[in-house]
Amino acid sequence: MLSNSVVAVFLSALALTSAAPYPQGTATIDTRQTKTYAAPRETRTVVAGRGGLRFDPENIVAPIGSIIEFHFTPLNHSVVESSFERPCQPKDAASFYSGFFPVPRSPDGGVTQSAEVFQIEVKNDQPIWFYCAQNTGRHCQSGMVGVVNQKFDGDKTLAKHKQLAAQVSGDSGVQPWIQGGERKANPNPLSGF
Ligand SMILES: [Cu+2]
């Protein structure tokens, strides 16, 4: 009886020490997966059109190196980088632009969103102002603007930016092409954001 137990313990120990966690000789490193980012990025989700003509949230604080991931609800929103002083217009030729995301309303009234998202990277500690360029309904001028890392000790506030946007009489501008970020498959298009 005792000897059987000793043998059992011995065999268990043998099994533990001889079982390699990974089959040797078959593991490979997929450089496509590892060369871009050393670690998963911290991500902030922003939903365009949730709760009306607005971004939710619209005032985002995010660390350098993190990702802002825009999701798009009906009917047809976009996101473009602007400046505090000139709302509803691209900041410059390098400003990011997502293109438009047409999304039909759900027939049963449920929440729907685009099968694609748009991601930008927070590259420095400067504020990133942005808006929706949809001119049908004048989204930007109606307050569909937002900011990443507003300077909270200054007077360039989101509220002030919205006032400036409301004074824009012309149409919102877009870039000639999608740029400055990545348009990619929505990781969870059927639920949540
Ligand atoms: Cu919009």
- The CATH number for 122's domain is 2.60.40.420
Ligand 1 center to 153 CA (angstroms):
29
Ligand 1 center to 103 CA (angstroms):
11
pLDDT of residue 177: 97
Ligand 1 center to 147 CA (angstroms):
15
Say whether the peptide bond before residue 127 is cis (omega within 30 degrees of 0): no
The answer as to whether 161 is a domain residue is yes
Specify the pairing of strand 59-60 against strand 76-77. unpaired
pLDDT of residue 187: 86
pLDDT of residue 30: 53
CA 18 to chain centroid, in Å, comes to 45
The answer as to whether 34 is a domain residue is no
The answer as to whether 108 is a domain residue is yes
Ligand 1 center to 181 CA (angstroms):
18
Low-confidence ranges of the chain (pLDDT < 50): 1-3, 5-25, 33-35
Ligand 1 center to 65 CA (angstroms):
26
Ligand 1 center to 33 CA (angstroms):
34
User: Of 80, 82, 85, 122, whose CA–CA distance to 101 is shortest?
Assistant: 80
Tally of domains within the chain: 1
Spatial distance between the Cα atoms of 84 and 149, rounded to a whole number of angstroms: 12
The answer as to whether 4 is a domain residue is no
What domain range is 51 assigned to?
A: 41-183
Any residues with CB less than 8 A from the CB of 72 and at least 6 apart, and which? 47, 48, 49, 78, 101, 103, 113, 114, 116, 117, 118
Helix then strand then coil, in percent of the chain rounded to 5, is 15, 20, 60
The answer as to whether 106 is a domain residue is yes
pLDDT of residue 11: 42
